[in-house]
Amino acid sequence: MTATTGPLLTVPDTSPAALAALTAEIASTAAKYDRSGDIPEAGLRAVQRGGYLTATVSARYGGPELDHSEVARLLIAIGEGDPSVALIVANTLAAHLAQTAAGNWPEDLYRELVRRAAGQPVLINAIRAEPELGAPARGGLPATLARRTADGWVLNGHKTFATGGTALSYHLVWVVTDETPVRVGHLIVPADADGITWRHTWDHLGLRASNTHDVSYADVAVPYRNFSEIPFQNGVYRDPAAAAGPASLGHAALYVGVARAARAAFADYARDRVPTALGKPIADTERIQWVAGEIEAQIVQAETLLFGALHRLAAGESEVAQRLSVVKVLIARSVIAAVETAVAALGNAALTRHNPLERHLRDALCVRVHPPQEDAAVLGAGRSVLRPDA
């Protein structure tokens, strides 16, 4: 057994009661942050206080090392409260999972990160998309350049959609090196390094508090050891985000939380709404009961797909890994269907800014943007089926 090399971190309580309390606390400020677009500090503090922000730190470093199913459960709970908080948390948890799997961070740097994370939110995100290239999962190499010097790397480039914004503690910047032959990978960049400039470009339909702004790097000095290479395969670069993995289902999980929040908002409205012509709550009508059942069916479908795939992976069914991209697509479809069903049934009342369903609809639609996108996932599945050796 490998000895622990870091402080013992809080073991998060993932009981239904604890997660419900976490959801309620985060939800209490979600509308405020959605309106302001500010970093959701209250929600992030709640997550950190309960140990949820370090839930995937390896036991080797004193972490709880929760498995993928437990992580999905807590991200559903956080997403039900505020998906902007959940997205920032999901990205941080994925970075810790990657360290457990591959050990890409310099050992002393990661130990220091864990030490800090025991007492304050330490947020990490992979900074990858670029204005000209778009999403890396679509193919191509970054324009962001890491130039090798005698002392390490000098980083220059412009990135888009960098979730977490100025709240981040570390950027994992996707770069190409100036070497011959070139290498591709991520540079671990402390957020307080000189030469980092944020451009407040995020004015989005949904997840408005996620602070997914643009960021520029101008002659940012980074130690040589902070580079983590992504090897070419047979001379071809294949981006890891082109196919879903267990960690990327964390993004799908947080939107299941959004569907749950929409279900609760629909039920609250239906119980409270008493039209004069009806003389009783609309919740007592078969029409609204059917709608509630349809919403529930979509959520059951999404949760069953999510946890079924993760449990099958844990059981060693390797063929499931090839289907995770399609699983993600189907979860996304169910999430959107659940929320749209609630909104359609209530009409104008669901689209007013005073009704949380309006926010849940905007947030749910964002599930489609996370790679791999639906067209790429379905096309890949079709090609797999039609291969001669299928």
Q: What is the DSSP letter of 383?
A: H
* Residues in the chain, total: 390
Confirm whether 222 is domain-assigned: yes
CATH code for the domain of 96: 1.10.540.10
Point out the least confidently predicted range of 46-50, 261-265, 386-390: 386-390
Do 341 and 361 share a structural domain? yes
- pLDDT score, position 138: 78
10 exposed, middle or buried (CB, 10 Å; 0-12, 13-18, 19+)? middle
User: What residue has token string 């790679």?
Assistant: 371
d(CA 224, CA 153): 6
Residue ending a domain, among 86, 121, 156, is 121
pLDDT tens-digit readout, 297-315? 999 999 999 999 999 999 9
Residue ending a domain, among 121, 145, 160, is 121
d(CA 144, CA 138): 16
pLDDT of 2 strictly over 50: no
Do 160 and 46 share a structural domain? no
CATH code for the domain of 378: 1.20.140.10
Residue ending a domain, among 183, 201, 229, is 229
Confirm whether 212 is domain-assigned: yes
Q: Which amino acid is at 362?
A: R
Q: Which helix (H) or strand (E) holds 51?
A: none
* DSSP-derived 3-state class of residue 126: strand
Do 82 and 25 share a structural domain? yes
Do 167 and 111 share a structural domain? no
For residues 379-387, give the mean pLDDT. Answer: 91
User: What residue has token string 């009342």?
Assistant: 349
- pLDDT score, position 233: 81
pLDDT tens-digit readout, 151-184? 999 999 999 999 999 999 999 999 999 999 999 9
Confirm whether 302 is domain-assigned: yes
pLDDT tens-digit readout, 93-105? 999 999 999 999 9
Confirm whether 10 is domain-assigned: no
Do 249 and 220 share a structural domain? no
CATH code for the domain of 224: 2.40.110.10
Residue 164 near residue 205 (C-beta atoms within 8 A): no
The token pair that represents 298 in the structure block: 């979509």
Residue 216 near residue 197 (C-beta atoms within 8 A): yes
Point out the least confidently predicted range of 54-63, 182-191, 235-244, 338-347: 235-244
Q: Which amino acid is at 107?
A: E
- pLDDT score, position 176: 96
CA angle (81 as vertex; 79, 85 as ends), nearest 5? 60
pLDDT tens-digit readout, 128-137? 999 998 778 7
Mean pLDDT, the chain, whole residue set: 94
For residues 235-257, give the mean pLDDT. Answer: 89
Confirm whether 8 is domain-assigned: no
Which runs of E-coded beta strand occur in 74-169? 124-127, 145-148, 152-162
Confirm whether 1 is domain-assigned: no
Do 219 and 155 share a structural domain? yes
Confirm whether 11 is domain-assigned: no
Nearest to 48 by CA among 80, 92, 82, 7: 92
d(CA 283, CA 292): 9
d(CA 94, CA 246): 10
Do 103 and 143 share a structural domain? no
d(CA 138, CA 157): 19
Q: At what angle do helices 249-272 and 68-81 cross, to 10 degrees?
A: 40
Do 327 and 361 share a structural domain? yes
For residues 112-136, give the mean pLDDT. Answer: 93
203 exposed, middle or buried (CB, 10 Å; 0-12, 13-18, 19+)? exposed
Do 380 and 260 share a structural domain? yes
User: Domain of 144?
Assistant: 127-229
More confident residue, 212 or 234: 212
The token pair that represents 45 in the structure block: 């503090």
* DSSP β-ladder status, 145-148 and 170-177: parallel
Q: Which helix (H) or strand (E) holds 63?
A: none
pLDDT of 244 strictly over 90: no
Q: Which helix (H) or strand (E) holds 260?
A: helix 249-272
Point out the least confidently predicted range of 40-54, 182-196, 220-234: 220-234
Query: pLDDT category, 4, cuts 50, 70, 90?
Result: low
* DSSP β-ladder status, 213-223 and 152-162: antiparallel
Point out the least confidently predicted range of 129-143, 317-331, 336-350: 129-143
Do 382 and 246 share a structural domain? yes
Do 254 and 219 share a structural domain? no
- pLDDT score, position 390: 62
Q: Could you tell me the pTM of the whole model?
A: 0.95
- pLDDT score, position 7: 57
Please state the domain count of the chain: 3
Query: pLDDT category, 256, cuts 50, 70, 90?
Result: very high
For residues 17-38, give the mean pLDDT. Answer: 98
Q: Which long-range contacts (CB under 8 A, 24 or more apart) does 38-43 make?
A: 38/209, 39/165, 39/166, 39/167, 39/209, 39/211, 40/82, 40/84, 40/85, 40/88, 40/209, 41/167, 43/78, 43/81, 43/82, 43/84, 43/85
* DSSP-derived 3-state class of residue 35: helix
- pLDDT score, position 1: 39
Confirm whether 4 is domain-assigned: no
Do 267 and 301 share a structural domain? yes
CA angle (99 as vertex; 242, 226 as ends), nearest 5? 90
